[in-house]
A and B are shown apart, each in its own frame.
Chain A
Amino acid sequence: MNRNSLLNIANFLCQFFKIIIGVSIIIIAAFFAHFQFERDSYADLKIEEPTNNSIIRFESESIAGKEPLDFQSLRLSDWKTGSLYFTFFKVTMIMTLTYLSLNQFEKVLKSVKDLKTFHQTNVNSLRRIGYYCLLITGLSIFNYWEFGVYAKSSISISLDVLLITLLAFILAEVFKEGNNLLEENQLTI
Protein backbone atom coordinates (compact mmCIF):
# COMPACT_ATOMS: atom_id res chain seq x y z
CA MET A 1 0.00 0.00 0.00
CA ASN A 2 1.62 3.26 -1.01
CA ARG A 3 1.61 6.58 0.78
CA ASN A 4 -1.23 8.09 -1.22
CA SER A 5 -3.54 5.13 -0.56
CA LEU A 6 -3.08 5.53 3.18
CA LEU A 7 -3.75 9.25 2.94
CA ASN A 8 -6.82 8.60 0.81
CA ILE A 9 -8.16 6.10 3.38
CA ALA A 10 -7.52 8.55 6.23
CA ASN A 11 -9.19 11.32 4.22
CA PHE A 12 -12.18 9.09 3.49
CA LEU A 13 -12.49 8.14 7.18
CA CYS A 14 -12.38 11.81 8.17
CA GLN A 15 -15.19 12.64 5.75
CA PHE A 16 -17.17 9.58 6.84
CA PHE A 17 -16.96 10.47 10.53
CA LYS A 18 -17.78 14.10 9.75
CA ILE A 19 -21.00 12.97 8.06
CA ILE A 20 -21.80 10.61 10.98
CA ILE A 21 -21.27 13.42 13.49
CA GLY A 22 -23.30 15.89 11.42
CA VAL A 23 -26.22 13.46 11.13
CA SER A 24 -25.96 12.59 14.85
CA ILE A 25 -26.15 16.28 15.82
CA ILE A 26 -29.30 16.67 13.71
CA ILE A 27 -30.86 13.51 15.23
CA ILE A 28 -30.02 14.60 18.79
CA ALA A 29 -31.44 18.10 18.14
CA ALA A 30 -34.62 16.56 16.70
CA PHE A 31 -34.93 14.23 19.70
CA PHE A 32 -34.33 17.15 22.06
CA ALA A 33 -37.06 19.23 20.40
CA HIS A 34 -39.52 16.30 20.24
CA PHE A 35 -38.82 15.37 23.85
CA GLN A 36 -39.84 18.87 24.98
CA PHE A 37 -43.28 18.62 23.41
CA GLU A 38 -44.05 14.89 23.54
CA ARG A 39 -42.44 13.79 26.77
CA ASP A 40 -45.17 11.23 27.45
CA SER A 41 -44.38 9.27 24.31
CA TYR A 42 -41.07 8.28 25.96
CA ALA A 43 -42.77 6.99 29.12
CA ASP A 44 -42.16 3.33 28.25
CA LEU A 45 -38.47 3.78 27.59
CA LYS A 46 -36.35 2.59 30.51
CA ILE A 47 -32.76 3.69 30.96
CA GLU A 48 -29.78 2.19 32.71
CA GLU A 49 -27.78 3.84 35.45
CA PRO A 50 -25.48 6.50 33.93
CA THR A 51 -21.89 5.32 34.24
CA ASN A 52 -18.54 6.97 33.91
CA ASN A 53 -15.47 4.92 33.05
CA SER A 54 -12.78 7.59 33.36
CA ILE A 55 -9.75 6.70 35.46
CA ILE A 56 -9.79 10.05 37.27
CA ARG A 57 -13.28 10.63 38.65
CA PHE A 58 -15.22 11.74 41.66
CA GLU A 59 -18.88 10.79 41.88
CA SER A 60 -21.71 11.90 44.07
CA GLU A 61 -25.08 10.15 44.02
CA SER A 62 -28.29 11.12 45.74
CA ILE A 63 -31.65 9.40 45.81
CA ALA A 64 -34.65 11.17 47.27
CA GLY A 65 -37.46 9.06 48.68
CA LYS A 66 -37.40 5.26 48.72
CA GLU A 67 -34.09 3.48 48.86
CA PRO A 68 -32.41 1.47 47.37
CA LEU A 69 -33.39 2.59 43.90
CA ASP A 70 -34.23 -0.02 41.33
CA PHE A 71 -32.53 1.23 38.16
CA GLN A 72 -35.05 -0.70 36.10
CA SER A 73 -37.60 1.89 37.17
CA LEU A 74 -35.68 4.85 35.70
CA ARG A 75 -37.71 6.17 32.79
CA LEU A 76 -36.59 8.53 30.06
CA SER A 77 -39.70 10.66 30.51
CA ASP A 78 -38.58 11.45 34.09
CA TRP A 79 -35.50 13.26 32.81
CA LYS A 80 -35.49 16.65 34.58
CA THR A 81 -35.41 19.70 32.31
CA GLY A 82 -32.23 21.20 33.84
CA SER A 83 -30.28 17.97 33.46
CA LEU A 84 -31.70 17.46 29.95
CA TYR A 85 -30.63 20.92 28.76
CA PHE A 86 -27.22 20.53 30.38
CA THR A 87 -26.60 17.14 28.77
CA PHE A 88 -27.94 18.27 25.38
CA PHE A 89 -25.74 21.37 25.16
CA LYS A 90 -22.73 19.47 26.49
CA VAL A 91 -23.08 16.61 23.99
CA THR A 92 -23.80 18.98 21.09
CA MET A 93 -20.77 21.13 21.90
CA ILE A 94 -18.49 18.08 22.21
CA MET A 95 -19.72 16.71 18.88
CA THR A 96 -19.31 20.09 17.18
CA LEU A 97 -15.76 20.39 18.51
CA THR A 98 -15.00 16.84 17.33
CA TYR A 99 -16.36 17.80 13.89
CA LEU A 100 -14.13 20.89 13.81
CA SER A 101 -11.09 18.84 14.88
CA LEU A 102 -11.73 16.34 12.09
CA ASN A 103 -12.09 19.24 9.66
CA GLN A 104 -8.67 20.59 10.66
CA PHE A 105 -7.14 17.11 10.45
CA GLU A 106 -8.57 16.73 6.95
CA LYS A 107 -6.87 20.00 5.97
CA VAL A 108 -3.53 18.65 7.26
CA LEU A 109 -4.01 15.42 5.27
CA LYS A 110 -4.84 17.40 2.12
CA SER A 111 -1.73 19.54 2.45
CA VAL A 112 0.44 16.43 2.94
CA LYS A 113 -1.07 15.01 -0.25
CA ASP A 114 -0.27 18.27 -2.06
CA LEU A 115 3.34 18.03 -0.79
CA LYS A 116 2.92 21.15 1.35
CA THR A 117 3.56 19.30 4.59
CA PHE A 118 5.65 21.71 6.64
CA HIS A 119 3.64 24.88 6.14
CA GLN A 120 2.47 27.37 8.76
CA THR A 121 -1.18 26.50 7.99
CA ASN A 122 -0.56 22.96 9.29
CA VAL A 123 1.03 24.30 12.47
CA ASN A 124 -2.09 26.44 13.00
CA SER A 125 -4.40 23.50 12.22
CA LEU A 126 -2.65 21.21 14.71
CA ARG A 127 -2.74 23.92 17.38
CA ARG A 128 -6.47 24.38 16.74
CA ILE A 129 -7.00 20.61 17.14
CA GLY A 130 -5.14 20.86 20.47
CA TYR A 131 -7.35 23.73 21.66
CA TYR A 132 -10.54 21.94 20.53
CA CYS A 133 -9.50 18.79 22.41
CA LEU A 134 -8.69 20.88 25.46
CA LEU A 135 -12.20 22.36 25.28
CA ILE A 136 -13.67 18.85 24.91
CA THR A 137 -11.79 17.81 28.07
CA GLY A 138 -13.12 20.89 29.86
CA LEU A 139 -16.68 20.17 28.78
CA SER A 140 -16.41 16.51 29.83
CA ILE A 141 -15.29 17.31 33.34
CA PHE A 142 -18.71 17.79 34.92
CA ASN A 143 -21.59 15.31 34.44
CA TYR A 144 -25.05 15.73 35.85
CA TRP A 145 -28.06 13.42 35.53
CA GLU A 146 -31.41 13.76 37.20
CA PHE A 147 -34.30 11.38 36.61
CA GLY A 148 -37.27 11.76 38.93
CA VAL A 149 -36.03 10.97 42.45
CA TYR A 150 -32.59 9.89 41.24
CA ALA A 151 -29.75 12.43 40.81
CA LYS A 152 -26.14 11.77 40.06
CA SER A 153 -23.28 14.16 39.42
CA SER A 154 -19.65 13.38 38.78
CA ILE A 155 -16.39 15.08 38.01
CA SER A 156 -14.06 13.21 35.72
CA ILE A 157 -11.10 13.94 33.48
CA SER A 158 -10.91 12.15 30.18
CA LEU A 159 -7.27 11.07 29.84
CA ASP A 160 -7.54 9.83 26.25
CA VAL A 161 -8.66 13.25 24.96
CA LEU A 162 -5.93 14.90 27.04
CA LEU A 163 -3.41 12.58 25.39
CA ILE A 164 -4.67 13.63 21.93
CA THR A 165 -4.36 17.29 23.05
CA LEU A 166 -0.75 16.73 24.08
CA LEU A 167 0.00 14.87 20.85
CA ALA A 168 -1.55 17.67 18.75
CA PHE A 169 0.52 20.36 20.49
CA ILE A 170 3.71 18.27 20.16
CA LEU A 171 3.01 17.67 16.45
CA ALA A 172 2.39 21.42 16.00
CA GLU A 173 5.86 22.10 17.43
CA VAL A 174 7.42 19.42 15.18
CA PHE A 175 5.71 20.95 12.14
CA LYS A 176 6.87 24.42 13.25
CA GLU A 177 10.49 23.18 13.31
CA GLY A 178 9.94 21.62 9.87
CA ASN A 179 8.54 24.92 8.61
CA ASN A 180 11.61 26.78 9.94
CA LEU A 181 13.93 24.34 8.16
CA LEU A 182 11.92 24.67 4.94
CA GLU A 183 12.06 28.49 5.07
CA GLU A 184 15.79 28.36 5.78
CA ASN A 185 16.29 26.07 2.82
CA GLN A 186 14.16 28.25 0.56
CA LEU A 187 15.98 31.42 1.66
CA THR A 188 19.45 30.01 1.02
CA ILE A 189 20.82 31.66 -2.10
Chain B
Amino acid sequence: MPIIIHLDKVLEENGMKSNELAEIIGITTANLSILKTGKAKAVRFSTLEAICEALNCQPGDILEYQP
Protein backbone atom coordinates (compact mmCIF):
# COMPACT_ATOMS: atom_id res chain seq x y z
CA MET B 1 0.00 0.00 0.00
CA PRO B 2 1.41 3.45 -0.87
CA ILE B 3 0.34 4.92 2.51
CA ILE B 4 3.31 4.93 4.89
CA ILE B 5 2.81 5.16 8.66
CA HIS B 6 5.34 7.22 10.61
CA LEU B 7 3.93 6.41 14.02
CA ASP B 8 7.27 5.08 15.32
CA LYS B 9 9.03 8.34 14.44
CA VAL B 10 6.36 10.53 16.07
CA LEU B 11 6.31 8.30 19.17
CA GLU B 12 10.10 8.65 19.49
CA GLU B 13 9.88 12.45 19.09
CA ASN B 14 7.37 12.53 21.93
CA GLY B 15 9.33 10.10 24.07
CA MET B 16 6.34 7.79 24.34
CA LYS B 17 6.13 4.02 24.13
CA SER B 18 3.60 2.05 22.07
CA ASN B 19 1.84 0.52 25.05
CA GLU B 20 1.45 3.96 26.68
CA LEU B 21 -0.14 5.36 23.52
CA ALA B 22 -2.40 2.32 23.21
CA GLU B 23 -3.59 2.86 26.77
CA ILE B 24 -4.20 6.59 26.25
CA ILE B 25 -6.19 6.21 23.02
CA GLY B 26 -8.03 3.09 24.21
CA ILE B 27 -6.99 0.44 21.68
CA THR B 28 -5.11 -2.81 22.19
CA THR B 29 -1.35 -3.01 21.64
CA ALA B 30 -2.03 -5.68 19.00
CA ASN B 31 -4.19 -3.23 17.03
CA LEU B 32 -1.60 -0.47 17.42
CA SER B 33 1.02 -2.89 16.12
CA ILE B 34 -1.19 -3.61 13.07
CA LEU B 35 -1.36 0.15 12.47
CA LYS B 36 2.41 0.64 12.94
CA THR B 37 3.37 -2.19 10.60
CA GLY B 38 1.09 -0.90 7.85
CA LYS B 39 -1.16 -3.98 7.88
CA ALA B 40 -4.29 -1.96 8.73
CA LYS B 41 -6.82 -1.60 5.92
CA ALA B 42 -8.56 1.47 7.40
CA VAL B 43 -8.22 3.97 10.26
CA ARG B 44 -11.25 5.47 11.98
CA PHE B 45 -11.35 9.28 12.29
CA SER B 46 -11.91 8.82 16.02
CA THR B 47 -8.68 6.77 16.32
CA LEU B 48 -6.73 9.29 14.26
CA GLU B 49 -8.11 12.14 16.36
CA ALA B 50 -7.10 10.37 19.57
CA ILE B 51 -3.57 9.69 18.27
CA CYS B 52 -3.12 13.31 17.14
CA GLU B 53 -4.38 14.57 20.50
CA ALA B 54 -2.10 12.21 22.47
CA LEU B 55 1.00 12.95 20.39
CA ASN B 56 0.17 16.62 19.76
CA CYS B 57 0.65 16.30 16.02
CA GLN B 58 -1.22 16.54 12.68
CA PRO B 59 -2.52 13.53 10.65
CA GLY B 60 0.07 14.42 7.98
CA ASP B 61 2.85 13.81 10.50
CA ILE B 62 1.70 10.19 10.89
CA LEU B 63 0.51 9.35 7.37
CA GLU B 64 2.40 9.86 4.12
CA TYR B 65 1.33 9.03 0.59
CA GLN B 66 4.09 7.57 -1.57
CA PRO B 67 2.94 6.86 -5.14
Contacts and interface: CB of A to CB of B under 8 A. Distances in A.
Nearest to A184: B41
A183 interface: yes
Nearest to A187: B41
Contacts of A187: 34, 39-42
A184 B41 CA distance: 6
A183 B40 CA distance: 10
B27 interface: yes
Interface residues of B, number: 12
Contacts of B47: 189
Interface in B26-46: 27, 31-32, 34-35, 39-44
Interface size grouping (class) on chain A:
under 10
Question: Counting chain A CB atoms within 10 Å of each CB, which of B27, B34, B41, B42 scores highest?
Answer: B41
B10 to A, nearest CB: 15
Interface of B: 27, 31-32, 34-35, 39-44, 47
Given A184-B41, A189-B32, 9 more contacts: A183-B41, A188-B41, A188-B43, A189-B27, A189-B31, A189-B40, A189-B42, A189-B44, A189-B47
